[in-house]
């Protein structure tokens, strides 16, 4: 049985109404809540299955970042950058009185997690009790960024869900070679919506592509200091075996910087694992078991 959640909202520092799913967890639960942060073109639906799973034991908060899902689109496209997203999430955490949490970040969400940790370290705080970085590190491979730049902001639409699913398979087939049509349909329904004209379209503001194309906006230039801010907490790195966004050299340096970091590789998956794979789910459960 799926966990229930509430559709809630908060107001960003610059006045946008932003949406989040709030899975309350069990009645009387006292375990540290989990914050799930999605990737560049994704939204809160990306964590539907994982949030259902975790909410059996603890509260889960899953925001739609500005310009995605049910959150407002920004009038200034230059605010579509990781530092602004962090400020937005900080305000949400403050409003909810959350001063300790586990962060699970996919791709862009992982960058946000590292920046949140760095911000805490600079302030002499440590709100983050544990971290899952999903297929992301302090250095991002140019080939992966180039691939993402090739499809983000294209504004394509489709007459049916089948057409949408087949298009996803054409674009992302190398990253998910074992996916069948049902898998692509599931992905389509997580990242697309039926638009006002009845066609299937991507559920994000196409303007996010504008700042993404500028140096330093896809990811801040040097995130090693931000990664090092994770050194005092449990960290799990989930790696897609076929990923083009994180290199073996970066993974090796991350392990050298943080010898306590656990890693799990999801076979025959590229960027990024869904975190519903058995290997990923078991590793996340193990990390959460360490944190009350």
- Lateral strand order in the sheet of 235-240: 6-11, 17-23, 60-63, 34-37, 101-106, 128-134, 235-240, 262-266
Residue 169 included in any domain: no
Q: Tally Cβ neighbours within 10 Å of residue 159.
A: 10
Residue 130 included in any domain: yes
Residue 55 included in any domain: yes
Residue 227 included in any domain: yes
Q: Which domain holds residue 225?
A: 6-142+214-289
Specify the pLDDT at position 216: 63
Contact at 8 Å (CB) between 101 and 60?
no
pTM (global) more than 0.75: yes
Residue 280 included in any domain: yes
Specify the pLDDT at position 25: 94
Residue 245 included in any domain: yes
Residue 172 included in any domain: no
| Residue 154 burial class via C-beta count within 10 angstroms: exposed 0-12, middle 13-18, buried 19 and up | exposed
Specify the pLDDT at position 23: 98
Specify the pLDDT at position 154: 87
Specify the pLDDT at position 155: 84
> Which of 236, 235, 238 is CA-nearest to residue 274?
238
Specify the pLDDT at position 3: 67
Q: What is the CATH number of the domain that holds 263?
A: 3.40.50.1820
Separation CA 241–CA 265 (nearest Å): 6
Cα–Cα separations (whole angstroms), residue 205 to 20, 89, 127, 290 = 17, 19, 31, 38
Q: Tally Cβ neighbours within 10 Å of residue 44.
A: 25
Q: What is the pLDDT along the chain (292 residues), one digit of tens a residue?
A: 466 999 999 999 999 999 999 999 999 889 999 999 999 999 999 999 999 999 999 999 999 999 999 999 999 999 999 999 999 999 999 999 999 999 999 999 999 999 999 999 999 999 999 999 999 999 999 889 889 888 888 889 999 999 999 999 999 999 999 999 999 999 999 999 999 899 999 999 999 999 887 776 666 778 999 999 999 899 999 999 999 999 999 999 999 999 999 999 999 999 999 999 999 999 999 999 999 9
Specify the pLDDT at position 214: 76
Separation CA 285–CA 276 (nearest Å): 11
Specify the pLDDT at position 218: 66
Residue 107 included in any domain: yes
Separation CA 168–CA 228 (nearest Å): 36
- Provide the domain count of the chain: 1
Separation CA 23–CA 153 (nearest Å): 30
């Amino acid at each position: 049985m799926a966990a229930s959640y509430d559709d809630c909202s908060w107001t960003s520092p610059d006045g946008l109404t932003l949406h989040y799913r709030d899975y309350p967890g069990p009645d009387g639960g006292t375990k540290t809540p989990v914050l799930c942060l999605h990737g560049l073109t994704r939204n809160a639906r990306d964590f539907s299955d994982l949030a259902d799973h975790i909410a059996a034991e603890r509260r889960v908060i899953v925001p739609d970042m500005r310009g995605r899902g049910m959150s407002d689109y920004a009038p200034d496209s230059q605010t579509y950058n990781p530092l602004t997203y962090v400020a937005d999430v900080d305000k949400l955490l403050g409003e909810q009185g959350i001063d300790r949490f586990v962060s699970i970040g996919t791709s862009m969400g992982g960058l946000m997690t590292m920046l949140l940790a760095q911000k805490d370290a600079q302030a002499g705080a440590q709100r983050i009790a544990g971290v899952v970085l999903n297929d992301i590190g302090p250095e991002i491979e140019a080939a992966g960024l180039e691939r993402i730049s090739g499809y983000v902001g294209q504004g394509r639409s489709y007459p049916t869900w089948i057409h949408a699913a087949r298009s996803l398979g054409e674009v992302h087939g190398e990253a998910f070679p074992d996916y069948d049509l049902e898998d692509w349909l599931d992905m389509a329904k997580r990242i697309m919506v039926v638009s006002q004209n009845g066609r299937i379209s991507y559920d994000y503001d196409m303007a996010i592509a504008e700042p993404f194309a500028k140096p330093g906006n896809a990811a801040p230039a040097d995130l090693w200091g931000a990664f090092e801010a994770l050194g005092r907490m449990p960290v799990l790195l989930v790696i897609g075996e076929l990923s083009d966004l994180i290199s073996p050299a970066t993974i090796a340096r991350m392990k050298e910087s943080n010898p306590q970091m656990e890693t799990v590789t999801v076979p025959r998956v590229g960027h990024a694992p869904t975190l519903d794979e058995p290997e990923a789910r078991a590793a996340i459960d193990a990390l959460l078991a360490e944190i009350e």
